[in-house]
Every structure is written in structure tokens, then in C-alpha cells.
Structure 1
Amino acid sequence: MRNLDPDDPRPPYQQVANALRAAILTRTFKPGDKLPSGPELAKRYGVARMTVQQAIRILRDEGLIVSRQGSGVYVRERTERPVGLRPHLERAFEEPKVSIDFAGFSGETLHGAIAEPIDKVRAGRLRPESIHVRILVPDPHDPWTLPARVDDLTDSPAFRKRAGRIMERHTYAIVDAVNELGELGLIADAHAEIRVVPAVPLFKLYLINNAEAFFGYYPVQEHTVKLDNEPTAMWDLMGKDATLFHHSADNDPDSMASQYIAQSAMWFDSIWDSVAREPTR
């Protein structure tokens, strides 16, 4: 029996969910594997069956597992619905060293997903040794080929200015929150940095702890916004409609998953160390 930590302030069902989530992410339970039954899990963790059911519900909502009537609960196959970013990001903050690299259009999704684990660090519920965050976004001072005006496919300085304000709001909030953890002495090594690039990515990429990657394409859709007090139709990149696909490295460095993580990290570093530069505000 694996008793839960009595000093952990989280409810038992969250502790069980975290333990099972870690087993899935580290491939102790592989895609397609059947999880132990509810009674078996209750005995393993020394909790009531209702607690296990609550934990299973969390993992099902996160898209990590699927229940099959009359058969049991299984780890979701890679080919099925992609899982969400947030639980994986929160799990990453339980590691001693946290590293997050993001390349994309605005950073809005990352801002929303990283807020809760940072709050847990402030409250003393999570205490990694280091947190490093790097953010790559397009330079709003350079002309863009996309987004573009619908009528003539030209760049819109007014749209770039508007997008730049949104970008700054989310990315600098992340930087300030992470750096504050170091300034307050809560984390010995906490650093976040933004760099801008002279191109707009048509995808978003998250690299977490050099072990996981989330990748999604930005759909291009017509979007009417008010620019210079005039409704303007733009071909916009709709980040909220981007489905993220999850990749996780394993113990085999030559596997497709491990190579995907390595190549994604290589791509990010190549941009960061070459054409990326500090933003001007």
C-alpha cells in the first residue's frame, strides 16, 4: 500500500489523481493500458473507493484516460483526443527544475495555464529549485504577412499595435510573476525572458522540462475588429481554436517521441540564439 502524504494540504482525491497522472506521463501506464480496478487503487493508496472515483473523474476530464463500459478504465491512446496543457504544466512544477519554452502568437494560453502553479509556489505548496521560462513571439514593430487585411492582404499597423498590447499584457505578466518568485526569495533561481522574432509563427509550441511538447496549428479565419474607429476585416490567427497535440519523450532516445522533443528543442534554441532579440516597448 502506498499511503498518501499526511502533510500534503491537497485533498486525498487530488493526491491520488496526481500519482496516477505521474504514472501515465512517465509511461508506467502506457497508452492503451488498463488501469487497476477501483478497489485495487483504493487499497493501493489507502483511501475510500469514492476518493478513487473522484480522482478518475479528474483524469477523465483532462483527457488522459477513457472509461469503457463493462471493461474498465484505460490510458487514452495517442491517436485519440489530445489532452490539455494545464495539468501537464502543473505537474511540471512538482519537479525540482522547471523549464518552459513557448513559441507562438500571444502567450495568452500559457498565461492562463501557468497562473495556478505560480500561485501554489507563492503559497508554499510547491517549491521547485529553479524555474526558467523563455517566450518567443513576433515583433509587432515589423510588418506582418499574416494577420493581414481581408480586402488586399496587406499588413495593418493598427492591427499590429492592437495585437502588441495583447501580447505584452500576457507575456509580461508571466515574466513579472516568475521573476517575482526569485525576488521574494521563494525560488533560488527564477528567471523568465521574452524575445521577439521577425516572423509570425503559424503554430504554437510548448516545451516542458525538456520531456514534453505540445504543438498546435493556428487556424486562419476572418475576424472583424475595430481599427482606427473603423470595422476592419482581418485574416487572423485564432489561437483559441488551435488543438494541441501532446508528445512525451521516453527512455529510448531514438524513438519518434524522443526525437520530436529533441528536434523541437533544437529548433527553439536555433531561433532564440540567432534572430530573436529583446523587445522594445
Structure 2
Amino acid sequence: MTSERSPGDGTPRQTMVALGPRISAAFGAADVRIDALCLTAELLSAALGEQRTLIHTRRSMPATITVRVLLPNRDIDLAFPRMISAPEEPDPVHRRWLAQRNAHGIVLSDHLRGLGAVHGIDVDIQFKALPFTPPVKLYLLNGTEALFAYYQVTEREEQIGRESVAMYDALGGGRVAALLVRRGRRPRPRVRDAVADLVRRTLDNHRDRPRALLTVGRCVDAP
């Protein structure tokens, strides 16, 4: 259960859920669509990797899978992760984030393309570059459920190469809050105008402007 009704006004309460089971539920639809806004796509890639393992147990499979992921542009000045002190040389924290973003994007693409090739599913994947650091990770599943979690920024040190680097980093975790948009019918205005439509507008506002980041099998970064 992802939403509970508050007494009196019908407003859904947020509840904490794991992303994997919600994506599994979304894959029960004939046409699967996932819109995401995140920092590296690590959690989404892991959740879709589970579907590649579990899909053979389903009685029916999706006919189409459409995934659109918005990630920060490679060259922006990230709010996090970043070094606490201004680096004199190229920032190792930024280089590490970029490598992680690219790697998770390629793995995510491989998971979905693998599903399409093995099971005959029509797969459409788009990666887009954002001009800002997202303060939250947001997922919209089949246009009916919005899931989100704020990144928690903390100071910490990590060994990068031979250097111990002090940085501001984000802790995402594996659980997100869920808000139900509708249950097979037109959404209530109160729900429609809440988090789910904010997610949708954020994604739609950047549909045409960002440049593509990834293609199948290789990474093409936006300049």
C-alpha cells in the first residue's frame, strides 16, 4: 500500500516504500512507462536489473517499456557531491560522480535492451541532461504513482585514488515516499496538483531542451 487517506479531506498521506517492489507492480501493465529525475540512476538501475531477473516468472509481459531519465549535465557546478575545499586541479569528486553516472546509465540501458531482445518487448530509453543538481530523486510510474526522496547531504571523507578527500556528499538510501495519483480513474484535483504533477511538469519542462546523454552500448555526454 503506497497511500493512506487522511480523515475528512481525502488527501493521500506519504508512506515509505522500496522502489523495487513498486517497479515490479508497474511492470504488470501492458505498456510500462517510467519517468525519473535523479543524480546517478543507481537505484533505478538496480530496480530494473531485478526485473530482468524476475520477468520470466510473470504470466504476462509488457508489450512496451518506455523509460526517460533526467541526470545532471557533466559540466555543471554540482551542489553535491563536491569537495569542501576548492581544488587547484580537476575535482576528483566530480570525476568520480561522472564515472558513476555514466556507468549506471549504461547498465540501466543494458538491462532494458536485454529485456527487449530476449522477450520481444519494444523498448524506448532516453537519457537527458539537466542544468542543475536535483535536490530529490523522483520517479513517476505509469503516470499513476509518484515516488520521491530528498537527498541528505553530509560531510564525509573518502579515499579517491591515493588521496583522502573531504566532501559534501548525498545519501540517497533505498527507500522513497510514495504518493498515489489515481487508481484507474481520473485523479482527484487535490492529488493531481500535488507532488505527482510537480514531477510530471519538471520532467516535461526539460523534454526538448536537454541534450541526449547515452546511446546503446556507449556514452555520449552533452557538452
TM exceeding 0.5 = yes
Q: Which digits, 9 at most, give the CA deviation of each residue in 1:155-189, with x for residues without a partner?
A: 963211111121222221111121233234x2341
Q: Which digits, 9 at most, give the CA deviation of each residue in 1:229-258, with x for residues without a partner?
A: 211100112112x75221111234343222
* Consecutive unaligned residues in structure 1, runs of 5 or more: 1-23, 33-76
**Which has the larger strand fraction?**
2
Change (3 A) 1:190 1:85: same
Change (3 A) 1:253 1:31: closer
SS across alignment from 1:200:
coil
Change (3 A) 1:228 1:80: closer
SS across alignment from 1:82:
strand
Match of 2:209 in 1: 274
Match of 1:224 in 2: 157
- Give the AA of the match of 1:237: A
Say which of 120, 132, 146 aligns to 1:187: 120
Are residues 1:246 and 2:178 paired? Answer: yes
- Give the AA of the match of 1:226: Q
Does the Cα contact within 8 Å between 2:83 and 2:91 map onto a contact in 1? no
Q: Whose Rg is larger?
A: 1
RMSD between aligned residues: 2.9
**Which has the larger helix fraction?**
1
Q: Scaled by the length of structure 1, what TM-score is found? A: 0.65
Match of 2:26 in 1: 92
Match of 2:39 in 1: 105
Change (3 A) 1:165 1:119: same
Match of 1:148 in 2: 82
Match of 1:235 in 2: 168
The Cα of 1:199 is off from its aligned counterpart by: 1.7
Does the Cα contact within 8 Å between 2:20 and 2:50 map onto a contact in 1? no
Change (3 A) 1:118 1:236: same
The Cα of 1:114 is off from its aligned counterpart by: 1.8
- Give the AA of the match of 2:115: L
Identity rate, percent: 23
Change (3 A) 1:206 1:156: farther
* Consecutive unaligned residues in structure 2, runs of 5 or more: 215-219
The Cα of 1:206 is off from its aligned counterpart by: 0.4
Worse overlay, 89-98 or 226-235: 226-235
Matches within 5 A, 1:22-61: 31=5
- Give the AA of the match of 1:274: R
Change (3 A) 1:218 1:252: same
Match of 2:217 in 1: none
The Cα of 1:278 is off from its aligned counterpart by: 2.7
Worse overlay, 256-265 or 209-218: 256-265
SS across alignment from 1:114:
helix
Which structure exhibits the higher relative contact order, with contacts defined as CA atoms closer than 8 Å and separated by 6 or more residues? 2
Does the Cα contact within 8 Å between 2:17 and 2:175 map onto a contact in 1? no
Match of 2:138 in 1: 205
